[in-house]
Amino acid sequence: MSILAITADADFQNYLQSSLEKENHGGFLVHSADDPDEGIGLALTIKPNVIIVDAAIHEGGYNVIREIKNNPALTDIPVFALTHRDLSEDKKLAIAGQIEGILNKDDFNSIKLVDHLRHLEALYPKKAGLVDDVTGLFNFRYFHIRLAQEIKRARRYKSPLVLLFIDIDHFDHYKIKKGEYYANLASRKVAELVNKHIRGSDVIARYKGNAFAVILTNTPMFSGTSLARRFISLIHDYPFLHEEVQPNGKITISIGISDFKEQSHEELIKLVESAMQSAVEKGGNRVEISQ
């Protein structure tokens, strides 16, 4: 997550940068701007996920917030107001609906900020850069965040966890034959069909290109494999538009699957990627279980 702090307070700039690194939260890229013009320009250039505006900055922090929210290119970016003291009711009313929250300099710490940001990701995944534009699913970055969380939970509570990757067979061929519009339609439909058949506690995300990742929480391997085979049938039997151009006359998928057995985050991903590649190499329209 990229964070832009618009403040002339060098001490706060340094503290924000160092404290996030010190707390080892990871996944944050901090940018700073000393004045409003530089801040607005930087925001337009890097399109940060979150902007923190110091209320004490010259030209007035609340004017800067209004300028950000009045700019069509920036209006969807969540903004936090940074203050030395509680705001008066009049000031709260003046910026109502324009900020996500208030950060108090005198009571500031990185753990609280991270809590704010994680809460923001949960409430506004699109604003936080966690949603894929084509399918509307969570994206590659969100997948890695959730997988790390679910592995930690599975390890702590000794609960089963299954990961599977889904690849659309011969997708590049379909895209060449029918174009990007129909390729995107097919991707969205595959995502929709899979998403309809998982639980609310499970996670589906756009992984890479035409591949999807599904995290099945509290699920034993035999149940995950059974569900994966159901996905194969669902996609094979669905009448996709212009699927007759495909080598086998149908849009189909390949699935690689593995369960969590105390592997690292990276090791589990490699196992599932390898299984998916094996399914593709064997002709697709099949499930391969990681060995």
Task: Provide the domain limits for residue 14.
Answer: 2-123
| One domain for residues 166 and 108 | no
The pLDDT of residue 118 is above 70: no
User: Of all residues in the chain, what percent carry a pLDDT higher than 90?
Assistant: 42
The pLDDT of residue 126 is above 90: no
Helix (H) or strand (E) segment spanning residue 81: strand 79-83
Do 187 and 134 contact (CB within 8 A), yes or no?
A: yes
* pLDDT value at residue 274: 95
pLDDT tier, 221 (very low <50, low <70, confident <90, very high otherwise)? very high
Average pLDDT for residues 193-205, to the nearest whole number?
91
Quote the mean pLDDT of the chain: 85
pLDDT tier, 152 (very low <50, low <70, confident <90, very high otherwise)? confident
* pLDDT value at residue 237: 97
* pLDDT value at residue 87: 60
Q: Is the dihedral of CA 139, 145, 147, 149 positive or negative?
A: negative
Do 21 and 15 contact (CB within 8 A), yes or no?
A: no
Whether 39 is in a domain gets the answer: yes
The pLDDT of residue 267 is above 80: yes
* pLDDT value at residue 89: 58
* pLDDT value at residue 253: 97
* pLDDT value at residue 169: 96
* pLDDT value at residue 245: 96
Radius of gyration of the chain (CA): 23
The pLDDT of residue 190 is above 90: yes
Closest CA to 123 of 47, 48, 50: 50
| One domain for residues 57 and 188 | no
* pLDDT value at residue 24: 47
| One domain for residues 273 and 170 | yes
Helix (H) or strand (E) segment spanning residue 211: strand 211-217
Q: CB atoms < 10 A from the CB of 265, how many?
A: 13
| One domain for residues 65 and 93 | yes
Average pLDDT for residues 47-54, to the nearest whole number?
86
* pLDDT value at residue 96: 58
* pLDDT value at residue 177: 95
Q: What is the CATH number of the domain that holds 91?
A: 3.40.50.2300
Written as six digits, the tokens of 134 are 């084509």
Written as six digits, the tokens of 37 are 């013009």
Average pLDDT for residues 137-160, to the nearest whole number?
86
Higher pLDDT, 155 or 86: 155
Total count of domains within the chain: 2
| One domain for residues 33 and 116 | yes
Whether 129 is in a domain gets the answer: no
Do 63 and 94 contact (CB within 8 A), yes or no?
A: no
Q: Distance between CA 19 and CA 36 in Å, rounded? A: 24
Higher pLDDT, 78 or 285: 285
The pLDDT of residue 51 is above 80: yes
Whether 232 is in a domain gets the answer: yes
The pLDDT of residue 123 is above 70: no
Do 220 and 160 contact (CB within 8 A), yes or no?
A: yes
Helix (H) or strand (E) segment spanning residue 205: strand 203-206
